[in-house]
Structure 1
Amino acid sequence: MDVSEIIIPGDTPGTEWRLPVLRFKGRDPKAPRTYIQAALHAGELPGTVLLHFLCERLRQAESEGGIAGDITIVPQANPIGAAQSHFGELQGRFDLGSRTNFNRDFPLISLVDRATLIEDLDDYPATDRLKRQLLHMALAADLVLDLHCDDESLQYAYIDEAFWPEAADLAAALDMEAVLLSDGESSAFEEAVGFAWKYQVPGERQSRLPGKLSVTVELRGKRDVDPVLAKKDADGLWRFLVTRGIVSGETAAVTFSGPAVPLDNVEIVRAPAGGTVLFHRNIGERIAEGDLLMTIITRPGQPGGIDLHAPQDGLILTRTSDRLVRRRGDLMKIACDSPSSVSRKAGALEN
């Protein structure tokens, strides 16, 4: 295992950020190249501990000549966000300086322009330098996995329709409970990778990308930082690498049995008013149209409250861990068989 650091100078004197990069050299130049990163949202750590345990297996495989394809791993992809605290609370999702989501505004370029990402880096602020160097590394690979987590959540993934159903092997290996098929229309990291591949020839869009994969994996919720779960997920990711011929090994064939639905089929339940939320249903439950999902107590101690019901049948995928909620705040995502009646703009589901 080769360990190096990318140094990102800060925007103020005396400040710099260090980004550790772990590389495993493959023996077969024709095998797929893999890039995996975690904690782009700096407070989302299930992927970091997954990679900690996965690297144990990779080091053993490397010593035995069992790695076919090059593997690059960035276990904590956002040292800038990891250093941001506000009144004692980590602020790892949004850059405090620009108020931009760390997983948005990645450059949308053609693959042939990859080298331009790291040209004239001093012209950019630190957060953009970080994003450009992460994307530059990823675009050298064939398989790109961006490991995140949600709030309270099942295991699921955002996968561009250009990679489906070929990517069902990843969903099966990681025992995902759902897949959300994205439209590739945002500037999130994994969609910026897909954009570069789709427009490998500038101006000519490819709709299918066989042998390629760029995906956001949601490893349950923020509090699911657990050695048992992390080792289970590391085993699942190892199975995927075996299946794709990146590492040597044997593994039993598994199939993905969960729903795979377009983003238009995701119902996002939002708070019509602020207050204390009482959930009546949990993640992983299948609900029917009209089922009582939650009650918002807007005036504690006084009569009344707001009951929210299921807009259609579906699987509860996520819910907020907050119990004091704001007006229009996202409370729950439900994966459904039919499109939502609420129109959605192209791109990411939420900021």
Structure 2
Amino acid sequence: MKRLRRPSRLPIDPYLVLLLGTVGLAALFPARGTAADVSSGASTAAIALLFFLYGARLSTREALDGLRHWRLHLTVLACTFLIFPALGLAARGLVPVVLTHPLYQGLLFLTLVPSTVQSSIAFTSIARGNVPAAICAGSFSSLVGIVATPLLAAALLGGGGGGFSGDSLVQIALQLLAPFLAGQVLRHWIGGFVARHKKVLGYVDRGSILLVVYTAFSEGVVQGVWHRVSPARLGGLLVVEAVLLAVMLLLTWYGAKALHFGREDRITIQFAGSKKSLASGLPMASVLFGAHASLAVLPLMLFHQMQLMVCAVIARRRAQDPPPERDRPVDPDPRYGRLTGDNVPS
């Protein structure tokens, strides 16, 4: 019997290290006065640019082609925007014994953001799952999340410290939806440029998110919100998030089996349906929560690293499973090809 190899190392995301460094910079040198105004304005522009590039990258034709596997996509969307929020609402019973109210709001917000795209594709590929479906599922989730996340946040978080109002939804439309639609409209002319300069524009993406994080955490430091979080509360938050991730991993795997999906589709549903996007969640939180964004994004940042570490181990174990000869009812679009663990986006 072939013995399973343990991964040589767990994936500590280098970008998360940069994010934590940005948090440390904001703690030591928060933007104040005029600097805070400049930082806030630059952050707003960065968010608009970020979603403009999202729109310019998303191929409408490929997204429509992926609709033929609609059962899988609906399952992923249900996990992301129905089951996850339901578990987040159930965690309300942990306040105030385990979680403070601000930490709970951040936890609930993390359950509302869309799924990841890049890491879902990477782990699906490593585990020998349905990679084309993972590409489409992640794209659909991001697209739906631009509208669904703010609406769910307004409905579930309400006025309980999040500051949601009609003005907040207008801000979402102006800062997120309008740039995204502009990117889609202009994609015919700039899509080739965006594809050719993908690596450079990736740095723009990540730099924009770092600026958003610095601005949000600076506001939190200036207002003294970090004095409300104790090490014991952070420990409780980590335990709650570990349970949340474990429940979603089990539900997506065995739930997909109960729905009669094949092995490759079950892998795709597990990785796309159990994960949350840091790249989408951070700018959304900045718009939705304003000065409270620093605490709101903390649960998402912790969950992001946790999901990477756990899913990396699961993906490597799934890769050792002998696949059935014929397990998936729908063949992938040959234009996508088969990605490997060495050539997927990180």
TM-score, with length taken from structure 2? 0.25
Larger RCO: 1 or 2 (CA < 8 Å, sep 6+): 2
Structure possessing the higher radius of gyration over alpha carbons? 1
Q: Is the helix fraction higher in 1 or 2?
A: 2
Q: Is the strand fraction higher in 1 or 2?
A: 1
